[in-house]
Amino acid sequence: MQSITIRQPDDWHLHFRDNEMLAETVPATARCFARAIVMPNLVPPVTNASLAMAYKERILAARPAGSQFEPLMTLYLTNETTPADITAAKAAGVTACKLYPAGATTNSDAAVKGISALYPVFEQMQKDGMLLLVHGEVTESHVDIFDREKVFIDQYMVKIVQDFPALKVVFEHITTGDAADFVLAHGANVGATITPQHLLLNRNDLLVGGVRPHNYCLPVLKRNTHQARLREVVAEGSKKFFLGTDSAPHAKHRKENACGCAGCYSAWSAIELYAEVFEQLNAMDKFEDFASNNGPDFYGLPRNEGTITLVKESWQVPELVTLADGTEMVPFFAGQTLNWKLA
Ligand code: NCD
Ligand code: ZN
Ligand code: ZN
């Protein structure tokens, strides 16, 4: 196969950050995606409709000239979120709410401590047709970091989907066979995003031959058997799994650090890397559904009208991206050669 044309895809999970950074991140995503679910973990977080709409305006202002790219906004759930916040957000056009257990990941200190306290909020979300997006990891210090997703499923996910059977729940950036099997075992209202890094890499790529800070993201890369299960479920083509890059830029010096932060900035290479995965899996016939159809179908949004074309052509991911203020970032797969290129 020398080229492939698919319906224009969307990115159902990413981090644009804010202000000056938007001039970098928005064009990088708008180069191929029509829409993106924009994560709300700013500092301070996006916790209500007016913050979300103001953030949306800043994103729209950073679009390249002529771009029709549409950001889909999310609210960050905290212990202060009320059912009235949900209704107001829905009315303002917010698409979904994000649940971060406190301390689970970058900028999640403000997040939720006791999930059951949020039940009135989930109730309202179910009623209003607001999706629940979940960073599914427990944060208790005694739980091994490689087990945190599995423990979250057992302690919380099982209960949430059981207690809110009509709530659409997206298990974000799944990393384990346990999560994939949990999603497959539940109804059409439970789906999941999968990142390029969790399909392409496992924890050896983080730790063998030296620590690779640019492969460090949360949930952390797992053992190869989990990677294999994720690859298997996307190759099988279940409608429940869709593209979410979790592109999450951080300055180079904050990742190459004695206490390096989590996140892979994949916007410049993500669609190409996914194409590579599906080709490796001999599942190119499932690529378009994963990238362009399953997401809007799950969200209840129209599929995009346009198309993109990827061609078989080698190119090298840049070693560095430099922002206008001189901040340097290392993109995911920096310096590596990819086989598919966006035409
Ligand atoms: C994300 C970030 O940097 O905001 N980091 C990451 O490792 N994925 C947060 C997140 O998605 O959990
Ligand atoms: Zn997350
Ligand atoms: Zn994320």
Q: Is the CB of 248 under 6 A from ligand 1?
A: yes
Report whether residue 135 contacts ligand 1, using a CB cutoff of 6 Å: yes
Sign of CA pseudo-dihedral 247, 182, 74, 119: negative
Distance CA 62, CA 54 (A): 13
3 alpha carbon – ligand 3 mean position (Å):
30
Cα-to-centroid distance, 43 and ligand 3 (Å): 15
Known binding-site residues for substrate equal 15-17, 41, 135, 218, 250, 262
User: Which two tokens mark 55?
Assistant: 């953030």
What pLDDT score was predicted for residue 262? 98
Residue 77 maps to a domain: yes
Cβ–ligand 1 distance for 98 under 6 Å, the answer no
Q: Binding site, residues?
A: 13, 15-17, 41, 98, 135, 173, 218, 246, 250, 262
pTM assigned to the model: 0.98
φ, ψ at 296 (rounded to 5°): -60, -35
From the CA of 114, how far away is ligand 2's center (Å)? 18
Task: Evaluate the omega torsion of the peptide bond into residue 219 and state whether it is cis, within 30 degrees of 0.
Answer: yes
Atom of ligand 1 nearest to the CA of 135: 12
For every residue of 44-78, which 3-state class applies, written as one string?
CCCCCHHHHHHHHHHHHHCCCCCCCCEEEEEEECC
Catalytically annotated residue among 10, 11, 178, 246? 246
- Exposed (0-12), middle (13-18) or buried (19+): which is 242, by Cβ within 10 Å? buried
Tokens 């492939």 -> residue: 4
Does 15 sit in the ligand 1 pocket, CB within 6 Å? yes
Q: Quick check: is 289 catalytic?
A: no
User: Residue 153 domain-assigned?
Assistant: yes
215 found inside a domain: yes
**For residue 257, what pLDDT is reported?**
98
Decide the pairing of beta strands 337-342 and 307-316: antiparallel
Which ligand 1 atom minimizes the distance to the CA of 195? 8
Per-residue pLDDT, 104: 83
**pLDDT of the residue at 288:** 98
| pLDDT at residue 159, as a whole number | 96
Supply the pLDDT for residue 106.
82
Residue 311 within a domain = no
- The b-or-e profile of 119-132 (16+ CB within 10 A means b, else e) is eebbebbbeeebbb
- pLDDT of amino acid 331: 98
Structural domain contains residue 314: no
Question: Does residue 59 sit within a domain?
Answer: yes
Range of the structural domain that residue 274 is part of: 11-302
Grouping H, G, I as helix, E, B as strand and the rest as coil, residue 150 is helix
**Total of domains in the chain:** 1
The verdict on residue 180 lying in a domain is: yes
Question: Which tokens sit at 76?
Answer: 């960050």
State the pLDDT at residue 115.
87
Residue 327 lies in a domain: no
Predicted confidence at residue 103, as pLDDT, reads 82
Per-residue pLDDT of the chain (343 residues; tens, 9 = 90+): 899 999 999 999 999 999 999 999 999 999 999 999 999 999 999 999 999 999 999 999 999 999 999 999 999 999 999 999 999 999 999 999 999 998 888 888 877 778 888 999 999 999 999 999 999 999 999 999 999 999 999 999 999 999 999 999 999 999 999 999 999 999 999 999 999 999 999 999 999 999 999 999 999 999 999 999 999 999 999 999 999 999 999 999 999 999 999 999 999 999 999 999 999 999 999 999 999 999 999 999 999 999 999 999 999 999 999 999 999 999 999 999 999 999 9
Where residue 253 sits, what CATH number does that domain have?
Answer: 3.20.20.140
Residues flanking ion ligand 3, Cβ below 5 Å: 246
- Measured in Å, residue 314 CA sits from the centre of ligand 2 at 31
